[in-house]
A and B are shown apart, each in its own frame.
Chain A
């Protein structure tokens, strides 16, 4: 049997994969024509291309996969005509192929509304890797971006423009609200607020009438005669099914486009199927990948002689923007007379949730989640599987209150045939069985079942299922470090301490096996540093350090390093500034003020590092540990010495604290800040530990975080004096260092800590475990052992020797290092593609 597939997109690829899996080898011949120049790639994660993923990273399978499976793949060669009578297709490059069955998976194109000026330079669509490459080229010339279309894709494109460095980006939506197909007015209003804090300007109820500019776009004109300036535009106004070939050969087409198909996805010619975004089923185009995969499954089954029908598909979706949770599932718009709605709104935190349930309160119909979509998968499955709701249905939104777990809640309450991964259609039973068969990690389950390999949204549920299945089999789940150590970090920390081990090799001899790896080496090195605070580059431990620690500097694009001297509390003298200026000029370094109130010097050759530090150390500077999982900076505001609102001298306190904990190594980096009053100019509440002056003393906050998942610090102790404040910090930090998993920031650590902040306060302030004195004395040992690492290197010819690029030509620098000019300084040459 010979099958020709037109289109090598996500769904066309999936069809091939399913045929290979289902058919007896050697019985089916597959020929694929793809219009794009590369094999099928993951369009859903297209935006990741801007954050460094390569076209190769995004491939569904490498070109060799097609060869290995005997699939003939013609890339860059679109099919131009279909001869239904002789059952042949004819391609642009002149190939003619016969077929027994033809599968059209031509997808869709971006719909470009007929607005005058869409052909101007600077106007883009957002569909293929080529589109993104064009945008990447153009973006450096642009400052203000605009996106026509406030739907799922439009918002993703708008965020991409911001990430490309455009200072301002506008979103223009024709409807009165954003994401009109997924969410309601209230939700849209909240979403709009969130997007505005990201830097997106949202304009709803706006109809674009023209794109202005001579040859190049300079702005947009609207029906209300207003004009918006913009020098780069992405049009994301919907999709247009690629039905031109089908139309040409006389297949039935919907009056608004799309190839008409039946329950078997057959077109009006029973030998021709259409699947994915080009297919019109029941008057509907499914613009998502999961229904496309289901269509591929139905057709593969049907062609091989079995029965299976497509019956429509759930259109639940989640927006993939960091920091903006938006999801809708089931039917979010059931009319009010056919359901009851439960709405939860917290305008302070920016959370809006609405669920629709059946009038008898038994089943979940659908809903909308904004600001916190953690429950998305769970709710989606509850709706899809018609799970009976708990007696107080609001529990599924708010969690069970009053101490009792709601019966039926959680992934365990789902029936065995519940779909956990909708993209790959993997059931709960399939995942549990894989775990029982010995696939006990997420990676293993992914490989074995394909769950969580597509959009990844179900990964948390899969993890929960792995844990609970293992538990139900009586297996003890431990967080072991890696294949070389069967211990958790906390267990290893205690063992190393009791045995007083001081090098990676001795720890490996006692408790590990093999040679170690890039996971356990830095973990053990960090434990050793947190316990003994000895020179990290001492023989035997040097090569166990993480790559940046090993050179006491941060490796940057191109292989050069950056240098950050410590500037305690952000206070620096004019003389010190001059030293930094001289050093930077002498070694040709790019300088930038960091977010932590210090100065970063980039572009140092590895062999220049000891020379640079020799000059810095001579002028009194110390290592800033910007390269380590260690205390970084203690930011301060100017405080009572100058500021008319200041209650206490925040700078002096910040300096005292930074000097106390400088060089302190921990499971992850540590940041701190001190503010002189409640106005909080030093942003102490976004730090691992932050201090704010009060009338009576200091308030100590802990476990805050900036970064990709911001979290406010929580009050640990209020109105304490300086000495008490420091004792609490000693205890807090030492407790964290001893118990946290590797690479876990304090915020994440607290989130996982049973009992949360109350428990932590009991341990630190009320000494509920009776270990406060021990924690304090352990910290004192570390404080007393502090030495500046860079001073030690500068003074040791043996250590200095390690800072060369070529072992057999130490005086030569890496000749492949290249810089480009940028605003009178230099920058690293771009990554090779």
Chain B
């Protein structure tokens, strides 16, 4: 998160709060990217990551089941149940899987915004 605080961030409007199912996720389109957005109403937290599961390259994380592991919020891919931390994107099921890109999220007037950190262009975000 410290990276997000120091870099400049471009916020784009993703959807309304009510569009995202409680304790679940949706997929947000941003230019040619797909971003998975998750809402944890019980702890009033929002997270966003890439939608692509790095394990088998499937656009599926937004349809995964969310939850916690030892208090850390996570999502499990619907294909092979690999779990990823929503805080820093690292794979919790095995040490060798690549980590996810994460994005900052903010809420204003029931509207959800996702931040794109400047200098990270589309290419590197998807890599």
Residues of B within 8 A of A57 (CB): 96
Closest to A558 in B: B58
Closest to A63 in B: B96
Q: Is A718 an interface residue (CB 8 A)?
A: no
Closest to B95 in A: A62
Say whether A547 contacts B65, CB under 8 Å: yes
Say whether A807 contacts B26, CB under 8 Å: yes
Say whether A539 contacts B22, CB under 8 Å: yes
Say whether B83 contacts A518, CB under 8 Å: yes
Say whether A807 contacts B27, CB under 8 Å: yes
Say whether B63 contacts A516, CB under 8 Å: no
Say whether B59 contacts A515, CB under 8 Å: no
Contact flags B58-81 to A (C-beta < 8 A → 1, else 0): 111001111111110110101101
Binds A, one of B13-21, B99-107, B116-124: B13-21
Say whether B67 contacts A518, CB under 8 Å: yes
Q: Is B24 an interface residue (CB 8 A)?
A: yes
Q: Known contacts being A559-B58, A805-B27, A808-B14, is A515 close to B63, with CB within 8 Å?
A: no
Given the complex of chains A and B, what is the CA–CA distance between A802 and B59 in angstroms?
17
| Secondary structure of the A contact surface, majority rule | loop
The answer, among B15, B29, B83, for a CB contact under 8 Å with A812, is: B29
Say whether A514 contacts B67, CB under 8 Å: yes
Contact flags A791-833 to B (C-beta < 8 A → 1, else 0): 0000000000010011111001010110000000000000110
Say whether B65 contacts A559, CB under 8 Å: no
Say whether B65 contacts A518, CB under 8 Å: yes
Say whether B14 contacts A517, CB under 8 Å: no
Say whether B59 contacts A559, CB under 8 Å: yes
Q: Known contacts being A62-B96, A547-B78, A559-B60, is A515 close to B22, with CB within 8 Å?
A: no
Residues of A within 8 A of B63 (CB): 547, 550-551, 555
Residues of B within 8 A of A806 (CB): 27-29, 34
Tally chain B residues at the interface, Cβ within 8 Å: 40
Q: Known contacts being A518-B65, A518-B76, A550-B63, is A544 close to B57, with CB within 8 Å?
A: no
Given the complex of chains A and B, what is the CA–CA distance between A831 and B79 in angstroms?
11
The answer, among B26, B58, B65, for a CB contact under 8 Å with A521, is: B65
A65 to chain B minimum Cβ distance, whole angstroms, is: 9
Q: Known contacts being A555-B63, A558-B58, is A518 close to B23, with CB within 8 Å?
A: no
Say whether A515 contacts B40, CB under 8 Å: yes
Residues of B within 8 A of A543 (CB): 21-24, 65-66
Say whether B14 contacts A514, CB under 8 Å: no
Residues of A within 8 A of B66 (CB): 515, 543
Given the complex of chains A and B, what is the CA–CA distance between A515 and B78 in angstroms?
18
Contact flags B20-47 to A (C-beta < 8 A → 1, else 0): 1111101111000010010010110000
Given the complex of chains A and B, what is the CA–CA distance between A546 and B14 in angstroms?
26
A523 to chain B minimum Cβ distance, whole angstroms, is: 12
Q: Is A767 an interface residue (CB 8 A)?
A: no
Q: Is A59 an interface residue (CB 8 A)?
A: yes
Give residues of chain A (543-594) contacting chain B, Cβ–Cβ below 8 Å: 543-544, 546-548, 550-551, 555, 557-559
A798 to chain B minimum Cβ distance, whole angstroms, is: 11
Q: Known contacts being A62-B96, A806-B27, A808-B29, is A505 close to B83, with CB within 8 Å?
A: no
Q: Is A688 an interface residue (CB 8 A)?
A: no
Say whether A814 contacts B20, CB under 8 Å: no
Given the complex of chains A and B, what is the CA–CA distance between A805 and B34 in angstroms?
10
The answer, among B34, B68, B76, B96, for a CB contact under 8 Å with A514, is: B68
Interface residues of A (CB under 8 A from B): 56-57, 59, 62, 483-484, 504-505, 514-518, 520-522, 539-540, 542-544, 546-548, 550-551, 555, 557-559, 802, 805-809, 812, 814, 816-817, 831-832
Beyond the given pairs A484-B68, A559-B59, 18 more chain A to chain B contacts, judged by CB atoms under 8 angstroms and listed by A's residue number, are A484-B67, A505-B23, A515-B23, A515-B43, A515-B68, A517-B65, A517-B74, A517-B83, A518-B65, A518-B81, A521-B67, A539-B21, A543-B24, A546-B65, A559-B58, A806-B28, A806-B34, A808-B15
